[in-house]
């Protein structure tokens, strides 16, 4: 009788736990896997010392889709007390997603940092440092990749590109022993159509990343989600709409097929690992990557 009582109690606790987890998942709109649980099934609220932030691909979206995306991001940002948002964009401060986010993300509470693509002579986009715990810091660098792309297409090196490389090198040297994440619009590594083979397309940048211990590089998608090259995890963020306004056809807004893949990333940075969750437009975790120490990435 006592065993049956214990068994019933265990079953009841398990059912209640499942109901709670399912409720949380439904609040985010994702029944497959709760974003509120860590890899071991523990509540993320038990990890108060971790630093959380979001990243997303900027660009133009229909108003309804844009609002839906921003509200999902706001809900996750509030739950995890996200410190900031990295916006991977060509347009910098002129990016429409970043501009329209201010009503949900007050800059003084959750600032947005946007990349850009230009040749305006201003090196870098942003350089921020965040304290994690026990003296461990997170350094986030925003890179203007316009000059690198131009040199790849034209086969020449500009003074602006050299200035960018020097600025990046100095910034990374000053961030020794920290977690380091660099972001830029253009990918440094791309994959073939089958996603089986990855190759680097920007040797100078990749070499700097490897030399100075960069843990991750975030950009527009070069591969389906992420890949590791030379100990650097390359994280691709889906670019569903691009940076150009959508075209109106016969009075209707032309919706690109790729918009189905619209979503964002949630990053958890601890003293021992960085976990990135790929969150779809439906609010489902479709993939995740964990970086342990330097360059050791697991699925």
Domain edges within the chain: 1-31, 36-298
Among all chains, which residue has been given the structure tokens 């691709």? 236
103, two tokens: 């009503």
7-48 per-position pLDDT tens digit: 555 545 544 443 344 345 435 444 455 666 554 555 554 455
Give the whole-angstrom CA distance, residue 179 versus residue 202. 22
Output DSSP code: residue 107: T
Number of other residues whose CB lies within 10 A of the CB of residue 212: 17
Of the candidates 176, 168, 263, which has an alpha carbon nearest to the alpha carbon of residue 217?
Answer: 168
What pLDDT shows up at residue 162?
84
Q: Which residues pair with 292 in a beta bridge?
A: 273, 296
Residue 153 has pLDDT above 60, yes or no: no
70-105 per-position pLDDT tens digit: 999 999 999 999 999 999 999 998 999 999 998 889
Helices of type H across 117-227: 146-154, 159-173, 203-211
The mean pLDDT of 45-55, rounded to a whole number, is 77
Going by their DSSP bridges, the two strands 273-280 and 285-292 should be labelled as antiparallel
Collapsing DSSP to helix, strand or coil, 129 comes out as strand
Please state which architecture CATH assigns to domain 36-298. 4-Layer Sandwich (3.60)
- Residue 82 has phi, psi (to 5 degrees) of -60, 140
180-224 per-position pLDDT tens digit: 999 999 998 887 765 556 666 778 889 999 999 999 999 988 776
Give the whole-angstrom CA distance, residue 139 versus residue 179. 6
Give the whole-angstrom CA distance, residue 286 versus residue 288. 7
* Higher pLDDT pick, 154 / 226: 226
The mean pLDDT of 143-161, rounded to a whole number, is 70
Kindly tell me the number of DSSP H helices and DSSP E strands found in the chain: 6, 17
């Amino acid at each position: 009788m006592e065993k049956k009582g214990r068994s019933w109690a265990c079953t009841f606790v398990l059912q209640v736990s499942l109901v709670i987890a399912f409720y949380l998942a439904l609040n985010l709109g994702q029944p497959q896997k709760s974003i509120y649980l860590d890899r071991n099934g523990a509540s993320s609220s038990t990890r108060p010392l971790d630093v959380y932030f979001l990243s997303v691909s900027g660009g133009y979206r229909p108003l309804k889709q844009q609002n839906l995306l921003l509200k999902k991001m706001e809900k996750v940002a509030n739950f995890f007390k996200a410190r900031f948002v990295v916006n991977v964009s060509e347009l910098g401060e002129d990016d429409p997603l970043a501009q329209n986010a201010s009503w949900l993300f007050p800059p003084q509470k959750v600032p947005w940092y946007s990349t850009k693509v230009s040749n305006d002579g201003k090196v870098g986009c942003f350089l921020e440092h965040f304290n994690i715990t026990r003296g461990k810091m997170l350094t986030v660098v925003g890179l203007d990749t316009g000059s690198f792309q131009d040199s790849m297409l034209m086969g020449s090196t500009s003074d602006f590109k050299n200035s960018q490389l020097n600025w990046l090198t100095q910034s990374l040297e000053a961030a020794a022993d920290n977690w380091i994440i660099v972001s830029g619009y253009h990918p440094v590594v791309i994959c073939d159509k089958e996603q089986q083979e990855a190759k680097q397309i920007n040797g100078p940048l990749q070499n700097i990343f490897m030399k100075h211990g960069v843990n991750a590089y975030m950009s527009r998608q070069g591969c389906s989600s992420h890949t590791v090259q030379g100990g650097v995890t390359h994280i691709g963020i889906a670019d569903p709409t691009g940076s150009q306004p959508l075209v109106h056809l016969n009075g209707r807004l032309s919706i690109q097929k790729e918009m189905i893949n619209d979503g964002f990333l949630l990053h958890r940075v601890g003293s021992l690992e960085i976990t990135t969750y790929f969150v779809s437009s439906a609010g489902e975790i479709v993939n995740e990557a964990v970086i342990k120490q330097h360059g050791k990435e697991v699925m």
